[in-house]
Amino acid sequence: MEIWKSKRSWSVVSFLMVVIVAAVMACDADAKRASLKGGEDLNGIAFDDFWDRVKDEGRQWTGNQQAGNQLYVSKISAIPVKGFDNHNGLSAIWETQVVRCNSVKEYKDPDSKKIEMICNGRSITYRMTETGIAGAQSGFRKGREKNFRGAAVLLERVRFGAGKAEEIANSNKRFRPVGYEYYTYDLHIAHVADKPVWVIKKGCNHRGLKQKQCTSKDSWAVKVDAETGEINKTVNSR
């Protein structure tokens, strides 16, 4: 009986230790991202410039692999930097995960019973950072190759960039930018519908709050199909 209690206590302690370590790691990641601070001279990097570089680097990456492999993308993000308001498809830091799919298979979700397209292969992360950001190395950098299993679509299916998606979102909300807003750009894959989807969010920036031109409630989010440019109201992305 005592031995059972001892084992049970040790299991509880071990579980709590895992939870604490995970929480600390998450906090460290958030703190690192929050510490990114830019100067007054940041102009932002156009998404199209970043994407062209990604495609060039991707061709070199797949060029050394077996014939027949094609380049896929699983996500794209504009990393927030304090002191720079994303707008017109510009961000001080862009990041994407590109995938080389060795196989793409159908998978039936046990809960929804819907068919998902799952890519199995290798991934690599590309990041482009503007000069002048404290806590970040500038230039175009790539991470290490990793195993990948998840939703991804061909790069060529991303036909509408962040800037164009922003225009579509503004038009949908009948909103005209006046300089008191900021945007976030994130592209996810709608795993069930197998679609690349931009999630465009608009908020009130620091200047707008300070001058009382807008409030934190003046925000919205719109999903734009990155392949067709249509407003997406139904699919869930991840």
Domain count, the chain: 1
Domain of 64 in residue numbering reads as 42-225
**Is 209 inside any structural domain?**
yes
**Is 117 inside any structural domain?**
yes
**Is 52 inside any structural domain?**
yes
3-state secondary structure of 212: coil
| Residue-wise burial string across 59-69, b where 16 or more C-beta atoms lie within 10 A, e elsewhere | eebbeeeeeeb
**Is 143 inside any structural domain?**
yes
Contact 176, 216 (CB under 8 A): no
**Is 63 inside any structural domain?**
yes
pLDDT digits (tens, 9 = 90+) for 113-127: 777 889 999 999 999
**Is 11 inside any structural domain?**
no
**Is 233 inside any structural domain?**
no
Strand 71-78, strand 93-108: pairing: antiparallel
**Is 234 inside any structural domain?**
no
pLDDT digits (tens, 9 = 90+) for 154-178: 999 999 999 999 999 999 999 999 9
pLDDT at 37 (0 to 100): 73
Q: Which of 149-158, 171-180, 184-193 has the lowest mean pLDDT?
A: 184-193
